[in-house]
Each structure stands twice: as C-alpha cells, then as structure tokens.
Copies of this chain bind each other. A is one copy, B any other.
Amino acid sequence: MQVNACMIAVMTNENAPPDADRVFKALADPTRRTLLDLLVERNGQTLGQLCANLAMARQSVTQHLGILEDAGLISTRRRGREKLHFINPVPLHEVYVRWVRKFERQRLDLLHDLKQDLEGDGP
C-alpha cells in the first residue's frame, strides 16, 4: 500500500478539529454507525455504493456523510465524477484516550473491590 497525501492528512488529523462533541453527536445516529461499518468492511466506497445498502434517499446519505466528515471520522477524495469515502480512526481514538479511559479506571476499581470482597467472604 502506498502512503499518499490523504493518508497523511488522516494520520495528522489536519482538516478536523478534535471536537469531542461532534464525534459523539456523529456516532449518536444508527445510520451513521452503519455507514462507518460499511466503510470498515470496504474502505473507499462511493456515495452511490453506500446508498445501495441503506434504503434511504441519496441526499439523506449525503447529509449523514457530511456530519461524519465534519466530525473527522471520514475523509473524502474525488476521482473523476465519483467521490470516495475513507474512514479515519484517529478522532475515535482521541475520544477513547480522553474520555473512556477514566471510566475504565472506575471499572477496574470496582472489579478490584468486588474481588477483595468475595475473597473476604470465603470459607
């Protein structure tokens, strides 16, 4: 695989402010999560290809893709009259680092306490 400008932009997160709010709002819709799933299956699909799986007007899919792009979760590239869509895993990772980890700490503490308690209740 060749590294191109698009991938560099993806890795460095150039054209997407790491706005947690946009990322969460983008992920809040099932249609948009389906779109991301479709792109995980096969990256670089066109609008038309994505529409084929969605039982929805093309324009609605365009709106959803726009929201995903604003959140930085996908990036696009034009090839002739087609528009290709690529997934961008970076914002989700940043949300994980900044957001999910602190809850993970609480979860592990709970597990620890539970384990301690169960051991204390042994015979």
Which of A's residues lie within 8 Å of B, judged by CB? 1-3, 7-8, 10-11, 20-21, 24-25, 27-28, 30, 33, 36, 40, 43, 87, 89-90, 92-93, 96, 99-100, 102-104, 106-107, 110-111, 113-114, 117-118
- In the complex, what residues of B have CB within 8 A of residue A33's CB? 20, 24, 99
Give A57 to B114 CA distance when docked, in angstroms.
37
Report B-chain residues with C-beta under 8 Å of the C-beta of A11: 110-111, 114
- Would you call B96 and A110 a contact (CB within 8 A)? no
Hey, which chain B residues are within 8 Å of A40, CB to CB? Answer: 102-103, 106
Question: Could you tell me if A100 and B107 are in contact, using CB atoms closer than 8 angstroms?
Answer: no
In contact, A87 and B113 (Cβ under 8 angstroms): no
